[in-house]
Amino acid sequence: MIPTHYAVEARQAHRSATDPDSMALADLLLTFPADKRRAFLRRLAPDELRRVLAAVREQRRTPYAMWEDTPSGFAEDVLGEVLNAGQAAALDAVAAHPRVAAAVCFGGAKTRLSAALMAWAAVVDPTEQPVVVVASEEQALEGVWVHVRRWAATAGLPGEVRGNNWYRETGHWRTAAHGLVPTARHAALDHIPVGLALAVDAGALTAETGRVLDTMGAAAHRLVAVGTPSQDPGSWFEGFAARPDTVTARVAVADLRARAGEPEPLCTACPTSPAHPVTVHFPGDWAAAQIARYGADHPRVRAQVHAEFPRVELHPLLGLRPGHPDFDSARDDCARGVVGELRRVRAAGPPQPSTHHVE
């Protein structure tokens, strides 16, 4: 695991006096690509690192600006998390694009990834615009804050985490991040500047929550949705991913297994157990068993194994989609077949209950 002393040094950076050499080095490092910058930081002694982070704080108002272009680097270097290439790419897409749909398979750590994004956005942005975390259920929201409270203690994140609120002192106390389950009274949030509007468990969002997010997104610098795609077509998450200004990142079950040279991703859902890879919770190749039971193209397999959205074809023979010249003429004929098709899909049986849910 990558050393996590960066968090302590960043927290103490404001106590260190800057010097011309550290300022020059900080300037140089901020021009490096993220991977080279992180490799260089690993070679610095604690005193050197402290001075460099103090210089970054002097220039950017926050020492965590060293990771402003790499949420995955922040998650590994500061929070002490272990990620694989698929998870890292999903996180880093958020730094590169203002609108991101991160489709994550079952067991792909979507809650942990959401929490890492929230923590990153809350400390790297010096504009004091808050992070707003949105879910349709309190349980999904609480899962994110469990991770944030853990990191506040282990990684020394600045400020105080109380309930579903994170407060930071930057000359004055302010709300760095806030979690909410929207109601009708949140419908007028379009005038509130937001640094990041983050939808967690996005595949389960209700239409009402989706409308609030769309409203909030109008004033948000970033709008990001993280979740497992719904098995049924027409979800807000699916629609958001299909928008022309949205970039979609996928983390499939195949991405959870470490490639050559990568660390094995660890389970974070068993805090009292010895460290173990997340793949131990998929006995007998869980993905292969799902494919064998439901079929490779079943909506459950597409969503939970491959992190793909439903394949919607209004005509089962022609495969028509909106925009096809015969789309309108085929609609009435297909309307009768859609009901029968849905019944056939659901007749395959309910999903198997999970004995251990990993996030």
pLDDT, tens only, 293-339: 888 888 888 888 888 888 755 444 445 554 555 555 555 554 545 54
pLDDT > 90 fraction of the chain, expressed in percent and rounded: 18
CATH 3.40.50.300 range(s) for the chain read: 82-312
The answer to whether the beta carbons of residues 133 and 118 sit under 8 Å apart is yes
Q: What is the pLDDT of residue 284?
A: 47
Cα distances (Å, whole numbers) of residue 327 to 46, 78, 238, 271, 319: 64, 51, 20, 52, 10
Strands 160-162 and 247-251: unpaired
Q: Is a pLDDT exceeding 90 seen at residue 101?
A: yes
What's the DSSP call for residue 217? H
Q: Is a pLDDT exceeding 70 seen at residue 16?
A: no
Q: Could you give the angle at which helices 85-96 and 110-124 cross, rounded to 10 degrees? A: 40
CA atoms of 123 and 313, how far apart (whole Å): 44
pLDDT in tens, 142-184: 888 999 988 888 888 888 888 888 887 766 677 777 787 776 5
CA atoms of 74 and 116, how far apart (whole Å): 8
Q: What is the pLDDT of residue 3?
A: 41
Q: Is a pLDDT exceeding 50 seen at residue 97?
A: yes
pLDDT in tens, 59-89: 888 889 899 999 999 999 999 888 888 899 9
Q: What is the pLDDT of residue 317?
A: 41
pLDDT in tens, 186-238: 555 555 677 888 999 989 888 888 888 888 877 778 899 999 998 888 888 99
Q: Is a pLDDT exceeding 90 seen at residue 286?
A: no
The answer to whether the beta carbons of residues 99 and 245 sit under 8 Å apart is yes
Q: What is the pLDDT of residue 343?
A: 56
Tokens of 337: 């077949």
Q: Please give the CATH topology (third level) of the domain spanning 82-312.
A: Rossmann fold (3.40.50)
Mean pLDDT in residue range 21-36: 86
Beta bridge partners of 224: 100, 198
Closest CA to 96 of 198, 246, 227: 246
Q: pLDDT-based confidence at 291, cuts 50/70/90?
A: confident
Q: Is a pLDDT exceeding 60 seen at residue 92?
A: yes
The number of beta carbons lying within 10 Å of the beta carbon of residue 207 is: 10
Q: Is a pLDDT exceeding 50 seen at residue 260?
A: yes
- In order, the DSSP letters of 286-328 are HHHHHHHHH-TT-HHHHHHTT-------SSTTT---TTSTTHH
Q: What is the pLDDT of residue 4?
A: 43
CA atoms of 175 and 193, how far apart (whole Å): 13
Mean pLDDT in residue range 26-44: 88
